[in-house]
A and B are shown apart, each in its own frame.
Chain A
Amino acid sequence: MDFISILRFYFFYPSFFDIIIFPGLILFAVILLTAIWFERKAAARVQMRVGPYYASKRSGGFLQLVADALKFVFSEMIIPDQVNPTLFVLAPALLLMISILPFAVVPVSIIPKSGSIFSPYFHDFYDPNIGMGVLSGFFTQYNLVLVLALEAIYPIFIIFMGWVTNNRFAILGSVRETMLSVSYDVLIFMATVSLALEFHTLDIAQIVQRGIPGILANPFAALVFFIGMLIGSSRFPFDIVEAETELVVGPATEYSGFLFVITMAPAYIGNFIYSFIFVDLFLGGWLPFTGLPGAAYTALKAVIVLFFSVFMRSVYGRYRLDQALRGSWKYLFPLSLFALIFGMVVGFLWIA
């Protein structure tokens, strides 16, 4: 093998390409900007405004976010007196890192034995359940469980961030996150478990390859998962942790400058990863494509789900903490139990 083909081999190695290039970090950075831009622009359309405009008029103010980020980067990072500076700076970085971690095990496409750019890695990412390779950063047969486990770490670091900043608003925000995370994790867990029971597998790739979108097979689980996703990523109407008029910015209250930018990103990244899982489980994933087009198709659908969830801002207000908790435990949790039984019945009758 010459140098170029070695380079090509490592460049397209799924653990690198999927995580870093597409649809990994680089796409995430672009989508982050686009999602915030879309959020502002769509809200502006609803609210009789223009929205971002002056930074690059030709693209409708798309570069406004870049300008904002640059401004933040060059503004002072204030570290409060009575905090541990190391932990204070570390907390947002850890949060960002943890928020992107679950993506490593989310399958975005499959690798056919030949014909795809990823075909050389067919055997390394071979999934015996479907007899194909799976395009994901790290393949296990139990990726559904692993994704949930990694997502469940995320709230701990939000609480850590609030605790480290030693601010009362931040601590109140952390307490709210603690209470909410218990409820939304249960919702997401129940929704995915009902899908797993329905499709008799813990492998996301196998659920997709079955060819039945989960939203048809189990619409209740889809609803529960979507609302759990909204709560989990602090989208309206569950923007309770960072409720601006109550808690300033919740756990991120003390952060300024570049650190503040870092604290803003994880919620969107979390939402985007949940969108990927939602697309895989409920919207048919990459089918009927394979390889790179399949990954692009999955990412496109995930972006649409993400855009839909950020659009909620222009329609809804914010629920109170106890209302969100009551809603999730009193109404959505029984619904998720029903989805579980529904999934078992349908899985027994239809998806053998």
Chain B
Amino acid sequence: MDVEVVPVTGELNVGPQHPGSGHMRILVKLSGDIVDDVELDVGYVHRAVEKLGENRNYMHLIPLVERPAILDSVHMNMGYVMAVEKIINVDVPERALYLRSFAAEVNRIASHFYGIGILGIFLGHSTSFMWGFGDREIWVHILEALTGARVTNSYVIPGGVRRDISPSIIEMTKKAISYTRRKLNDWKKIFFNNPTIRARLENVGVMTKDQAIAWGAVGPNLRASGVYFDVRKAEPYAAYSKLDFDIPVYKEGDGYARSMVRLEEIEQSMRILEQIIKDIPQGPILSERFLKQIPPTRMKKWVEGQGRIVLPGYYASFRPPKGEATSRVEAGRGELMYYVMSDGSAKPYRLRMITPSYRLIYVFKNLCKGVRYADVVSIYGSLDYFPPEADR
């Protein structure tokens, strides 16, 4: 149905102090109710991670690089550590790889619940907002039990992981999986099959396959446009080559497909977790090269007694050989890439991180052209754009 719109043009300054803008300013050029163009003024939460990276040694960078996306910190951490590992050339034991995948998938579930919750509140659906954050909590508790912190876990270290999994955590995970499976049915009833939510998401912000590739979309947003790409499959890292999981792909490319991809990824992540619990091999959780540097008394008390790594002196300020490395991981919001260049000193010569949200800025700008003003928040939420991650 065509609606005659009286041409009234104007600019609307949405944000950064606005309930629907996040940490950025969206200059919306409106003509009537139709958005002509949006200008995204990003950078309000810029932390200069890349520049700071040149002034800190490699270990001290771990808590810093995971800061931009604290709700997705295991991935941010793991990508960086994988690049460093390539430079210092260290092998990671099998059990540590499984534990990395474990933490990453738990984190992915938590991150997706966060995204769906934010999408819900953008569409005025407060129940999904609260449910998203409530259901996320049990997964955050697992991360807390495993790593000692709810977010910003700093769990992955060069050569392995910091803590071993315990039977009680496995028990917690099993409970969380059965709870979330039950809860996802309720989610489908109240959110994904809710007529208001479907009306707001279906055929809104449609991104075709070609557009998604041309605009550089990543992650669930790319897969919702019909592109079968996931770093876990394309370039397996951690234990993903040994795990059996599917990549949900939708071809509609609208907001509803994007949120359905997230929902199904939660299901797939739980499938992965079940396999990890079943298959996880015995063995050390840190590379032999670092493990033998731990003093015997501390080794006995902490590593063998409690399954915790006491960082050996090597980490204090190690000087990797000259070289450069890139790493790719599939973070919650999509492909995350690190480039680390070492000049032989204790600090990286250059650290480059390309975060998934950073790539979504252009996608967001393009998708907003020609939609109605109310759809700007709908697209924003369905892209799961996270400003601190984009600003770094």
Contact = CB atoms under 8 A, between A and B. Distances in A.
Interface residues of B, number: 33
A244 B131 contact: no
A243 B374 contact: yes
B130 to A, nearest CB: 3
A246 interface: yes
A319 B126 contact: no
B20 A245 contact: yes
A76 interface: no
Interface string A164-183: 00001100100000000000
B125 A244 contact: no
A101 to B, nearest CB: 29
Contact of A319 (B19, B20, B199, B373): B199
B124 A245 contact: yes
Interface stretch (A64-72, A186-194, A321-329): A321-329
Contact of A322 (B190, B196, B372): B372
B377 A246 contact: yes
B122 A245 contact: yes
Given A237-B196, A317-B124, A320-B200, A48 B374 contact: no
Given A48-B130, A320-B372, A245 B377 contact: yes
A54 interface: no
Contacts of A318: 123-125, 196, 200
B53 interface: no
Interface in A238-270: 239-240, 243-246, 248
A244 B194 contact: no
A317 B1 contact: no
User: Which of A46, A49, A313, A317 is the most central at the interface, judged by chain B CB atoms within 10 Å of its CB?
Assistant: A317
Interface SS of chain B: helix, strand, loop or mixed?
helix
B131 A246 contact: no
Contact of A172 (B121, B126, B129, B373): B373
A152 B304 CA distance: 77
A78 interface: no
A325 to B, nearest CB: 8
B3 interface: yes
B374 A321 contact: yes
A333 to B, nearest CB: 14
A317 B3 contact: no
A49 B131 CA distance: 9
A314 B12 CA distance: 30
Contacts of B131: 47-48
Contacts of A246: 20, 373-374, 376-377
Nearest to B135: A48
B20 A317 contact: no
Given A172-B373, A246-B377, A321-B33, A314 B196 contact: no
Interface of A: 43, 46-49, 168-169, 172, 236-237, 239-240, 243-246, 248, 313-323, 326, 330
21 contacts: A47-B127, A47-B129, A48-B134, A168-B13, A243-B124, A244-B19, A246-B376, A248-B18, A248-B19, A313-B126, A315-B127, A315-B190, A315-B194, A316-B196, A317-B124, A319-B196, A319-B199, A320-B372, A322-B3, A322-B33, A323-B200
Given A319-B196, A326-B1, 13 more contacts: A48-B130, A168-B10, A243-B124, A245-B122, A245-B124, A314-B127, A317-B123, A318-B196, A318-B200, A319-B199, A320-B199, A322-B372, A323-B199
Interface of B: 1, 3, 10, 12-13, 18-20, 33, 120-127, 129-131, 134, 190, 194, 196-197, 199-200, 372-377
